[in-house]
Structure 1
């Protein structure tokens, strides 16, 4: 006999919150289990918390002239045949309806945060950024029984900074979902409670075993179980098992993302895809030795072991991360590589968004993560590359900057490349001594491989048949975008939508 019985059991508390909220709003009882001591998962670390939802009501009210056909043309061109066409279409079309659903509840409020699509030259791309919205900020005091329980921000967890009273970025939408459920007696929420095993009866998932403080108990779920517990980026064992490059130490994923939900689903016959994939990015190495997701580079160049450039430094972060992986696999870049820049803007590298704030310069210098020299040849000695090669690399790049065209890697030719320089060229000469270099590595926003699903987020077995009673979303689900990252807000947008669709499917079940 189960220790507790509900209609819907939800594991996770990032995009999973959309599923828990929808199920409760549709009149179902819900048990929400979160493995860590705070709600929000990796979603709560997002400084923007954006959602890529073409033609949603927020954009429509602003007069955006986008069409679903254009958005779908773009998405299909970027993702290709790597994931099912019906799954892609469900995502592109579904976001607008989800926002309309949420806006019927006064707890939710959104605004436009223009963010250009990541493949600017592909037909259908929206380079004005009008497919991207975020939640409006909300005071933590509005969260009722959940006040003080939203994870993040990163500076609080990694640098000891005080938690702000106002929830912004991803924390804002996490907070709004929690506020909307705070007074709902149909929602039971449990922190520090991990889903460790699924319970199956006659081929149907009917609940799960969860663990809290070393004790296990069972929760029966009449309508189904939704697994939206993040990826497995913090599990070194699973990263090695499935061939995910990089270190668990350098991921930006929430600490509870160790793949327990994946393992539980695999044990009952679930099929998977994309298990060697992650949402990649360059990572600025901080004094604690960890590489943290960094984007919006307004200058500088990346150089390999030979002192040569190897990438368009202004490319969208996942595309840039994949080029870094390619260079690593070819042996021209090691686990650490260098950004070379000058002193025109001071000591710090030209990075607008570090996600984990800069520490004091002296700390980077003491760890030999930031170095400088009066000459390019001297800087080459500091970072261990051939002086003549680095001098030639910098000279060639400065010529490109003078002419305004990067003949080697096309930096600045795509719209996104200029998104953080006010539309100006990102080719900034390196000519103001002392010359500087900052150490970078590989980071990720979490793994993106997971359980294969249909358009209702039902988990599929190896025969492409739904496993009755089992659903997945977020990074527990194999990413609808396949091996690409079409635009900012794609991971969060897909996570929220498929959690919502799972709950609606369970609500319709009888």
Structure 2
């Protein structure tokens, strides 16, 4: 047996939701090594503008007088997710978030606030349309991070557009920063960037550590209590996407660049069971001048049209549900890898998209790239975007009549409370009447894959016989999502990642 280069109690792979596991382990008195494949800490979590957590009845909400109950939240979650994932896993998530926030708030370095964000299936039993299940971390100055100062990934505008990195950490970066602030003061916590986990070490049926690559060499880290895999998904691995049938393109994902599925592969190699490997957290993607489609939401107008020039979806539906409908149309052949949003000039040239996640470039860049076009007539616009002119004209005429009546009998746009959540209650059915008529190109984007390793309620990875693999844990997008094939509400991916990382560390501490 090769000697270990380092020995700790807990090895944590990943540095987004994984930090909740690292923090918990350290707080419970264990030594920790964090290995991150990227050149910054934070993963995809750091790109989230909100960084929300869907935690019903947590202390932040209850102090504000929220009248929610866990029973209502659990009824909602089960109605949405169904039996696609184990009931006990769902219940653990719904009930567990409040306890995690209570645990964190005992440390003065953690502070949270309410960011109302409505549930995504607002007609399901137990749903809340007031957003009172969603909280975020309060902003924190980067200077407080000690040895981790300047090392938080993101934001997206910094990485994709070269914008200056702000000194104040907000959104997902705020919570990552708060974890790093707390960890910086723990002498028994080591952290390594540019250090992907590539292999798990197994002795007598137990995972006892891992092999990590750094600076062109491999080194072994032994973990006495266990290894937590929370390295994100495999969205940037085109071969894995194709193998498992994940829709969309690796170039259009919003996932962190290092999310290539190495931890998935290491666990599968020792017999770990997987689930949901064809799934992702999908969304429509606005195509930018560089040709990449980036997650966009909050459409306050416009219509999507297929190759025949017809509408094919409720454009104001929650982004994952909308993304899934777009994928169905793509698989049926009625929509190509790129399709168009049609709108008018009543509000100017910019498409009616309230949240682009990657900021707009100068408008002339979109025109020069051919991803925004305009014409004085709908017939002319139809020819520019390659759809039948008569069909597009008829589609817009029909939609304008729906807008006049404020009712969409074709796709129900505006009927669900969520459809009006980002228009101040105003109708999202905005007539297309003011020339020049415009079109912006879209694709399908994602927030990462959600297929991964099957686990129990303590985040222990299960083998193909359904038995826990001793010493191995998973959370985040390395774990098969507790929400199955749905996206119940904003803050669900981050919330689940943090909670199951925390539970993994508590289980290791208990051992």
TM-score norm. by structure 1 comes to: 0.99
Aligned to 2:466: 464
Shift of 1:33: 0.3
Q: Quote the RMSD (CA, aligned, Å).
A: 0.4
Structure 2: where are the runs of 5+ without partners?
A: none
Equivalent residues in 2 for 1:341-380, closer than 5 Å = 341-380=343-382
SS in 2 for 1:55: coil
Alignment of 1:478-493 (within 5 A): 478-493=480-495
Cα deviation for residue 245 of structure 1 reads 1.2
Give the alignment of 1:74-223 within 5 angstroms: 74-223=76-225
Task: Give the length in aligned residue pairs.
Answer: 509
Aligned to 1:476: 478
Secondary structure at 2:328 match in 1: helix
CA distance in 2, matches of 1:23, 1:218: 20
Hey, what's the Cα distance between the residues in 2 that align with 1:371 and 1:250? 21
CA distance in 2, matches of 1:329, 1:181: 46
Deviation at 1:467, TM superposition (A): 0.1
In 2, distance between residues paired with 1:247 and 1:37? 23
For residues 417-459 of structure 1, what are the alpha-carbon distances to aligned partners after superposition, in whole Å with 9 as ceiling and x for unaligned?
0001001111011111111000000000000000000000000
1:51 maps to what in 2? 53
Task: Give matches, 1:395-410, under 5 Å.
Answer: 395-410=397-412
Paired with 1:131 and 1:450, the residues of 2 have a C-alpha distance of: 26
Deviation at 1:188, TM superposition (A): 0.3
- Tell me which residue corresponds to 2:269: 267
Q: Take 1:423 and 1:173, find their aligned partners in 2: how far apart are those partners?
A: 31
**Which whole-Å CA distance do the structure 2 matches of 1:141 and 1:490 have between them?**
29
Partner of 1:469: helix, strand, or coil?
strand
1:273-292 → structure 2 map (5 Å cutoff): 273-292=275-294
Q: What SS class does the counterpart of residue 335 from structure 1 fall into? A: coil
Counterpart pick for 2:240 among 234, 238, 241? 238
Q: Tell me, what secondary structure is at the counterpart of 2:10?
A: strand
Q: Which residue of 1 aligns with 2:38?
A: 36
Cα distance in 1 for partners of 2:397, 2:129 equals 32
Q: Equivalents in 2 of 1:124, 1:432: separation in Å?
A: 41
Flag structure 1 segments of 5+ consecutive residues without an equivalent.
none
- 1:267-322 CA-to-partner distances (Å, cap 9, x unmatched) read 11100000000000000000011000000000000000010000000000000000
One of 422, 433, 454 as aligned partner of 2:435: 433
Deviation at residue 489 of structure 1 after TM alignment = 0.3
SS of 2:98's equivalent in the other structure is: helix
Shift of 1:183: 1.3
**Matches of 2:410 and 2:11 in 1, distance apart?**
52
* Residue of structure 1 aligned with 2:66, choices 64, 67, 82: 64
Distance 1:506 1:430 in 2: 59
Structure 2 CA distance for aligned equivalents of residues 295 and 370 of structure 1: 18
Separation in structure 2 between the aligned mates of residue 214 and residue 264 of structure 1, nearest angstrom: 19
State the 1:191 CA deviation. 0.6
Matching residue of 2:11: 9
Question: After TM superposition, where is structure 1 displaced by more than 3 Å over at least 4 residues in a row?
Answer: none
Q: Provide, for residues 133-183 of structure 1, a one-character-per-residue CA deviation record: whole Å limited to 9, x for no partner.
A: 000000000000000000000000000000011000000000000001111
